[in-house]
Amino acid sequence: MSGNFPKWLDNAVFYEIYPQSFMDSNADGIGDFQGIISKLDYIKELGCTAIWMNPCFDSPFGDAGYDVSDYYKAAPRYGTNEDLKRLFEEVHKRDMHILLDLVPGHTSVEHAWFKESMKAEENEFTHRYIWTDSIWEEPLGYGSIRGISSRDGSCVVNFFSHQPALNYGYYKPDPQKKWQQSVDDEGPRATVEAMKDIMRFWLSMGCDGFRVDMAGSLVKGDEDGKGTIKLWQNVREFLDEEFPEAAMVSEWGEPDKSLQGGFHMDFLLHFGPSHYNDLFRCDAPFFAGNGDASEFVKKYLENYEKSERKGLICIPSGNHDMDRLARTIKGEKLKIAFAFLLTMPGAPFIYYGDEIGMRHVENLVSVEGGYGRTGARSPMQWDNSVNAGFSSAPKDALYIPQDEATDRPTVQKQLEDPDSLIHEVKRLIAIRQAHEALQSKGEITFIYAEQKKYPLAYVRSCGEERVLVVLNPSDKAVEFTFAEPLKEKIYVLGDDMVVVDASVKVPPCSAHFYLF
Ligand code: NOJ
């Protein structure tokens, strides 16, 4: 791998915190920084080494904070900038790292930049967003905001209709449309510099890097990503110079592009061509025991080869945008799913609550632009006290209702049960951390990943160390061929496998790691 690559990423296991739902320290029904600080030891004991925290900046919360109204100010509901700085310090005290969520593609309509850019009179922010030069012209291929200000134009939106797109220019501006600026024009260049200033501000305060929202969306009309890659390379140069230790992970889902752009890590996304959903979230997910992992493996290998080991492909257990893992994968099979997530290359990301199998809360009314995603964002379940220990506010003051089931999983219950998911996740993280071959940069070779067949088997290797991983979430005993003699069992879930000559018999619902 080339360029600056923070050493700690070699063995990083991330924990994603959705701040509004993690821990409420002041009984207002919503999580906050102090609440997170009080649970850092929990995250550390789980074995996680780093945190990605979803947006925590000032915002009207029309999209859970992905609609920033002030990039320089912590949202008061979470605390002050000072509190956030203290969170960084407390994280570092525990030898962990923390990434903030940077949203460079759009702001809220309430951002001061947008308010200025809505004015008819030319000013510093006239070109901060992408505006056509007539209210009657809508930008093709994008939605727009129009008719709400004195400015005669329509503004491109980047996601919801209250999220105007920041102007990074068009890769090939259409000469007929004078309003489309080139990436080298003054407006787009100023936007990039404004983003660098924001990064500089938080990195100087002590955050360790960023997860970048919709990182591939910046330059418009840029089908093969060339303009956006160049933009990120420019950001990379700035980081290498001023903050060489800053770690960057992109929500892009095309590692051949993002890693070339200088990101250290790219997420494998649950939308687009990745086939991630085949494993966890479709009618017949592979890890539910009656699915197909072969297309996923094909696509994964394609990306793995294309990314030329320039950085890491990160597979999340879930996130704030998709159904809870436990909606489709249940019981022991959840443990096998984690055995997969925690033995793949790249840095694994555990979405808060997935380590206890928190359920998707069904039929919730949308909160903060969550819509169908709201059920995966319900407050963390810690113990059997009021509101599962999340908050001491009255129950109906919780900003999202919790899982009401009497048997809802909690951290406390699971810690008391040696067979619970949380203990398995801890075990798996500890094994990963004890074996370099299983960590971020260990190579992977798939041994058995046949269409509609089980098990899934692969080898992870690093130097002399080689680990065979065999996963059978199906309810049937299955077989595959592996010619090399196995040396030492380092993990088993379920019954042992039996090897006769080169034929490996794998019991139903089991997982196995062997050194060989
Ligand atoms: C991706 C984020 O993960 C999602 O939650 C958000 O709604 C969109 N980007 C828009 O920022």
Is 319 within the bounds of a domain?
A: yes
Q: Is the CB of 368 within 6 Å of ligand 1?
A: no
Q: List the residue whose alpha carbon is closest to atom 7 of ligand 1.
A: 63
Is 337 within the bounds of a domain?
A: yes
Q: 227 and 319 share a domain?
A: yes
CA distances to 283, 289, 421 from 279, in Å: 10, 10, 19
At 489-502, the pLDDT tens digits run: 999 999 999 999 99
Q: 324 and 386 share a domain?
A: yes
Cα–Cα dist 472/484, whole Å: 20
Q: Is the CB of 66 within 6 Å of ligand 1?
A: yes
What pLDDT, on the 0 to 100 scale, is given for residue 3? 65
Q: Determine contact, residues 409/384, Cβ cutoff 8 Å.
A: no
Is 172 within the bounds of a domain?
A: no
- The closest of 11, 17, 52 to 38, measured between CA atoms, is 17
Q: How many Å lie between the centroid of ligand 1 and the Cα of residue 514? A: 39
Is 173 within the bounds of a domain?
A: no
Out of 431, 460, 484, pick the residue that ends a domain. Answer: 431
Q: How many Å lie between the centroid of ligand 1 and the Cα of residue 213? A: 7
Supply the CATH number for residue 449's domain. 2.60.40.1180
Q: How many Å lie between the centroid of ligand 1 and the Cα of residue 52? A: 14
**Which residues form the domain of 26?**
7-104+188-431
Out of 397, 431, 465, pick the residue that ends a domain. Answer: 431
Q: 243 and 134 share a domain?
A: no
Is 436 within the bounds of a domain?
A: no
Atom of ligand 1 nearest to the CA of 158: 10
Q: 498 and 355 share a domain?
A: no
What's the DSSP call for residue 322? S
What pLDDT, on the 0 to 100 scale, is given for residue 142? 86
Q: List the residue whose alpha carbon is closest to atom 2 of ligand 1.
A: 213
Supply the CATH number for residue 383's domain. 3.20.20.80
At 263-297, the pLDDT tens digits run: 999 999 999 999 999 999 999 999 999 999 999 99
Q: Is the CB of 471 within 6 Å of ligand 1?
A: no
Atom of ligand 1 nearest to the CA of 103: 11
Cα–Cα dist 498/146, whole Å: 67
At 427-452, the pLDDT tens digits run: 999 999 999 999 999 999 999 999 99
Atom of ligand 1 nearest to the CA of 66: 11
Burial 193-232 (b: 16+ CB within 10 A, else e): eebeebbeebbeeebbbbbbbbbbbbbbebeebebbbebb
- The closest of 465, 471, 468 to 502, measured between CA atoms, is 468
Q: How many Å lie between the centroid of ligand 1 and the Cα of residue 371? A: 12
Of the CA atoms within 13 Å of residue 187, those in its CB half-sphere come to 23
Q: 385 and 266 share a domain?
A: yes
Cα–Cα dist 173/170, whole Å: 5
Is 427 within the bounds of a domain?
A: yes
Out of 375, 402, 431, pick the residue that ends a domain. Answer: 431
SS3 326: helix
**Longest CA pairwise span in the chain (Å):** 81
Q: How many Å lie between the centroid of ligand 1 and the Cα of residue 68? A: 12
Mutation to probe ligand 1, out of 63, 108, 268, 323 (largest number of atoms < 8 A from CB) = 63
Q: How many Å lie between the centroid of ligand 1 and the Cα of residue 159? A: 8
Atom of ligand 1 nearest to the CA of 160: 10
Q: 27 and 161 share a domain?
A: no
What pLDDT, on the 0 to 100 scale, is given for residue 316? 98
Q: 265 and 413 share a domain?
A: yes
Is 180 within the bounds of a domain?
A: no
Q: Determine contact, residues 160/62, Cβ cutoff 8 Å.
A: yes
Q: 456 and 469 share a domain?
A: yes
What pLDDT, on the 0 to 100 scale, is given for residue 314? 97
Number of domains in the chain: 3
Q: Kindly report the average pLDDT of the chain as a whole number.
A: 97
Indicate whether this model's pTM tops 0.75.
yes
DSSP one-letter string for 30-47:
S--HHHHHHTHHHHHHHT
Q: 202 and 335 share a domain?
A: yes
Q: Is the CB of 160 within 6 Å of ligand 1?
A: no
Q: Is the CB of 322 within 6 Å of ligand 1?
A: no
- Out of 4-8, 31-35, 225-229, 369-373, least confident range: 4-8
Is 438 within the bounds of a domain?
A: no
Q: 54 and 163 share a domain?
A: no
At 215-260, the pLDDT tens digits run: 999 999 999 999 999 999 999 999 999 999 999 999 999 999 999 9
At 153-202, the pLDDT tens digits run: 999 999 999 999 999 999 999 999 999 999 999 999 999 999 999 999 99
Supply the CATH number for residue 117's domain. 3.90.400.10
Atom of ligand 1 nearest to the CA of 369: 7
Q: How many Å lie between the centroid of ligand 1 and the Cα of residue 485? A: 47
**2 pLDDT exceeds 80?**
no
Q: 310 and 418 share a domain?
A: yes
Pairing mode, strands 50-53 and 510-515:
unpaired
Atom of ligand 1 nearest to the CA of 321: 5
What pLDDT, on the 0 to 100 scale, is given for residue 267? 96
Instruction: Give the residue, 4 or 503, on which the prediction is more confident.
Output: 503
Q: 223 and 354 share a domain?
A: yes
Question: Residue 242: what residue type?
Answer: E
